[in-house]
Amino acid sequence: MPELLPVLDQEAVEKLIDETAQRISRDYADGQLVVIGVLKGAFIFMADLVRRLTIPVVIDFVGTSSYGDQTVSSGHVGLTREIGMDLRGKDVLLVEDIVDTGQTLAFLVAHIRSLGARSVKICALLDKPARRQVKVEVAYRCYEAPDAFLVGYGLDFNECYRQLSGIYRLQFNTESTP
Ligand code: IMP
């Protein structure tokens, strides 16, 4: 079994989300925002973030796949759930749990632009800039994370650990390294 090493507890995560929600609310004070969460990993972050926004929002989700049961991206991003809303002329905030290589968000930003959105910005709970392969601009980043595989607060390994209220680093011992 891999070991869980604490990175951020619930209180620390909530403080970071508070600060980010305030920034977003200030930046979009004059308009309505379409907030799109990337399934499944962003579901807890998204719920906590939108409840702290003080501006009108509408909400949708998009599904992508690229990891399967691995800790390294396959590099091929596919849609598993399409956005169900008309985005033409809208300001979109794409909410993601973690930015790693950047492939998922680069794909989604291009996709949302192709649907006619007026603007698209990225909000990520965690960012691992050391791992970037594709350039993406993360407008709102709650926390710069170490180059490690992280779980909890919506993030999974093999669909496990999403329910943890803090964020942990998954430490594999040599026998169980995938
Ligand atoms: P990217 O396309 O390589 O940037 O990967 C983004 C997606 O990979 C995220 O939405 C996560 O689902 C997954 N991912 C990347 N790093 C981690 C991690 O450390 N823990 C859990 N999931 C991760």
Q: Where are the domains of the chain?
A: 3-63+81-171
Q: What architecture (CATH level 2) is domain 3-63+81-171?
A: 3-Layer(aba) Sandwich (3.40)
Compute the average pLDDT of residues 139-155. Answer: 97
Please state which of the ranges 68-77, 103-112, 140-149 shows the lowest mean pLDDT.
68-77
pTM, two decimals, is 0.93
Q: Is 64 in the pocket of ligand 1 (CB under 6 A)?
A: no
Tokens of 109: 């930003």
Q: Which one of 98, 122, 132, 158 would you pick to mutate in the ligand 1 pocket, going by the greatest count of ligand atoms within 8 A of its CB?
A: 98
Residue 153, Cβ neighbours under 10 Å: how many? 28
Residue 71 — pLDDT band, cuts 50, 70, 90?
low
For residues 58 and 173, which has the higher predicted lDDT (pLDDT)? 58
Q: Is 127 in the pocket of ligand 1 (CB under 6 A)?
A: no
HSE-up (13 A, CA, CB side) for residue 5: 9
